Amino acid sequence: MKESVKIYNNERIDQLYSQDIKIIQSPDVFSFSLDAVLLADFANLKISSKIKIMDLCAGNGAVGLFASQKTKGQIFQIELQERLADMGQRSIQLNGLQNQVHMVNLDLANTFNKFEKDSFDYVLCNPPYFKDQTTSKKNPNPYLAIARHEIKTSLDQVLEVASGLLKMNGKLYLVHRPERFSEILSVMTRYRLAPKKVRLVYPRKNGEANMVLIEAIKDGRAGGMRFVEPLYTYEGKEYSTEVKGLLYGGEKA
């Protein structure tokens, strides 16, 4: 049941028109971007109400809310920053998804104090992309800095927690940066995650990829990694047909 929710100063309600999902956003703290939409679309989730899905580094909850339209399974979300978790919880209520989507304000380090190991069928994650280095130029806004840089977590911790949550043969869906691809594969191997499907995302044709989408299977057989058709964000100055379909509905390609 959809509820009337509090919208605070400098917050707005944005909508993913292709799914009729509304998200509470604020320029003060965080706004979802295309990577959240692409990750939710990339995830191949069973429809069954019996499955359990975890959305790590959930931010304001966009990935889990978008994924809720593809499955009847229970979706749990972990977000460290209290204000973002509160925005995500209010977005869940705004969309009437309280019986399916559950936001938890929690540090990843404490995941297994709350959730049982080997109990999830899927894990989705849009983590901080950039290492926390002293030479790194960080956003002066601490909310954005934490969302984008590995200040409060790391690739190693994210993949360790993802693997710990997943059942044998459970699937991880991750969006990240191509320049860290080899590191991602190495850390996945350490935590028994076998990468199986990869999709590169390019702003435009004839340019370099700026995102990578990866599907990995816990305790999957080594080898057999496939690179599927790339996605192009723009055609000229407009979104590509596929991206328009993901954002506004209609044909994806």
What does pLDDT average to over the chain? 91
Q: Which pLDDT score is estimated for 103?
A: 98
Of the candidates 126, 25, 37, the one whose C-alpha atom is nearest the C-alpha of residue 77 is 126
Q: Residue 250 pLDDT more than 90?
A: no
Q: Residue 138 pLDDT more than 50?
A: no
Mind spelling out the 3-state secondary structure of 175-200? EECHHHHHHHHHHHHHCCEEEEEEEE
Q: Which pLDDT score is estimated for 137?
A: 59
Mean pLDDT (whole number) for 117-133: 87
Give the pLDDT band of residue 128 (cuts 50, 70, 90).
confident
Give the start-end residues of each E strand in 6-164.
12-16, 21-25, 52-56, 74-79, 101-105, 120-125
pLDDT tens track for 4-42: 899 999 999 999 999 999 999 998 887 888 999 999 999
pLDDT tens track for 77-109: 999 999 999 999 999 999 999 999 999 999 999
Give the C-alpha separation, 113 to 195, whole Å.
28
Model pTM above 0.85: yes
Domains by residue range for the chain, with CATH: 12-248 (3.40.50.150)
Residue that has been written with the tokens 């109400």 in this structure: 49
Give the C-alpha separation, 204 to 44, whole Å.
25
Of the candidates 66, 86, 97, 70, the one whose C-alpha atom is nearest the C-alpha of residue 2 is 97
pLDDT tens track for 209-229: 999 999 999 999 989 999 999
Give the pLDDT band of residue 143 (cuts 50, 70, 90).
very low
